[in-house]
Amino acid sequence: MPDNNTKAPETRRVYIDYNATTPLKPEVKAAMIADMEVYGNASSMHASGRLAHARVEQARNAVEKLLGAAAGTVVFTSGGSESNNTVFQTMRSLASNPDGSPLPSGRNEFIITAIEHPCVLNSALYLQSLGFKVTFLSVDEYGKIKIDELKKALSDKTLLVSIMAANNEIGTVQDIKTITALAKAAGAWMHTDAVQAVGKIPLNVEDLGVDYLTMSAHKIYGPKGTGGLYIKKGAPLFPLIHGGHQEDGLRAGTYNNLGILGLGKAAAIAAGELEKYGREISALRNRLRDGLTAAIPNIKINGHPIDVLPNTLNVSFPGAEGEAILLSMDIKGIEASTGSACASGSLEPSHVLLAIGVGPELAHGSIRFSLGWGITAEDIDYIIGTLPPIIARLRAMSSL
Ligand SMILES: Cc1ncc(COP(=O)(O)O)c(C=O)c1O
């Protein structure tokens, strides 16, 4: 974990960008290092293979426990992007002619929201480019979908509803249980991208009733490049990657033993720490929110005030430019983000902030702070003390 507090003030680094990625938990790192000796191919019959296979299945068990999922319902993937793409391509296969064009009748329509992560948005836009109808639900000023709009959009043509459990930029949490009930009543398949929600808020796939749920290891202190897809028993799934018969033929490729073991370890730890995480991380987030609100005039907090991830704080600073704030903070050792890591470097204002009604100019002056294990109250106070002169200087420059 980042060791922020032993650093001298001028070299202090406060990593507060945990929605972009998390460091490995020390226990995860130790387990992975120990497992580097386990080199067998998990599909081999011999003892080395059986040992690797046992580790993979232990990890699956831990992930299924974290999600409240039945045994054998989680498939390992290379991460959230692959899991989400697999669901969309499965639906495409279900609703396509052999030439790839949408079937003219039957269920061939998709419903997503305007604030999905790019890997869902672009999967849907790709299907739209092939001729499939996609409805992009709007959200209110807090980032919540409007249930009436969903009801109106659902029909006997709806094939898939895909709505994220929690937003990566503003942290708003959707009511997936209610949304799923409506989607299922309309006869559609229901998927949720829960990459940001898993390990941060309680989630149980049986209780939610979803058909598919996406998660990723590197958001829960596990390794990058490993993730999972929950598939309810009976829900269709076609492989995105064809090859050997790993994962019951649902995801080919030699098992990424090390990544999977790390994911399993991270999932087991997250399950045991969920309550503590909610309590301790939200207290630190609230300290940051209240401290910034008191120290800097005229700021706007984005996201839902209650239905929000415990770790996320998105703040708009009118009159200051986001990239300039980031760079100034970086010089002082504070590492945050202007939006999702996938969108940073883009000059486009955040599609999430635009969708909740933040204007383009203000969207450009918004910062996402996302907290996690390793952040201390001293780190938060350091940010609260460091940011006001930065904002004051940038505002003065912009008014010149
Ligand atoms: C909501 C959400 N979905 C999907 C992803 C993609 O996950 P991965 O990086 O594992 O491909 C991310 C990562 O930022 C995310 O925040």
| pTM metric for this prediction | 0.95
Q: From the CA of 227, how far away is ligand 1's center (Å)?
A: 10
* DSSP letters spanning 234-262: T-----SS-SS-GGGGTS-S---HHHHHH
Q: What spatial distance separates the first Cα and last Cα of the chain, rounded to whole Å?
A: 42
Decide whether any atom of ligand 1 lies within 6 Å of the 368 Cβ.
Answer: no
Confidence (pLDDT) at 103? 86
Decide whether any atom of ligand 1 lies within 6 Å of the 193 Cβ.
Answer: yes
From 22, 167, 216, 263, the mutation candidate for ligand 1 (largest count of ligand atoms within 8 A of CB) is 216
How many Å apart are CA 228 and CA 270, to the nearest integer?
15
Confidence (pLDDT) at 398? 84
160 touches 372 (CB < 8 A): no
Decide whether any atom of ligand 1 lies within 6 Å of the 64 Cβ.
Answer: no
Residue range 129-167, pLDDT digits in tens: 999 999 999 999 999 999 999 999 999 999 999 999 999
Q: From the CA of 127, how far away is ligand 1's center (Å)?
A: 20
Q: From the CA of 297, how far away is ligand 1's center (Å)?
A: 33
Short-list 1, 372, 21, CA closest to 223: 21
* Helices (H) then strands (E): counts for the chain: 12, 12
pLDDT for residue 73 is more than 90: yes
Which residue in this structure is represented by tokens 């609703």? 95
205 touches 232 (CB < 8 A): yes
Residues taking part in catalysis: 342
Record the tokens describing residue 395, joined without a space: 């505002």
Q: Compare 243 and 338 and report the one with higher pLDDT.
A: 243
83 touches 230 (CB < 8 A): no
How many Å apart are CA 340 and CA 264, to the nearest integer?
25
Task: Say how many CA atoms lie within 13 Å of 384 toward its Cβ.
Answer: 18
Report H helices in 224-321.
Answer: 257-295
Of all helices (H) and strands (E), which one includes residue 35? helix 26-35
From 168, 226, 368, the mutation candidate for ligand 1 (largest count of ligand atoms within 8 A of CB) is 168
Q: What percent of the chain has pLDDT over 70?
A: 95
Report H helices in the chain.
Answer: 26-35, 47-67, 80-94, 118-129, 147-153, 176-185, 205-208, 257-295, 322-331, 351-355, 360-364, 377-399
Decide whether any atom of ligand 1 lies within 6 Å of the 223 Cβ.
Answer: no
Residue range 358-378, pLDDT digits in tens: 999 999 999 999 999 999 999
Residue range 297-327, pLDDT digits in tens: 999 999 999 999 999 999 999 999 999 999 9
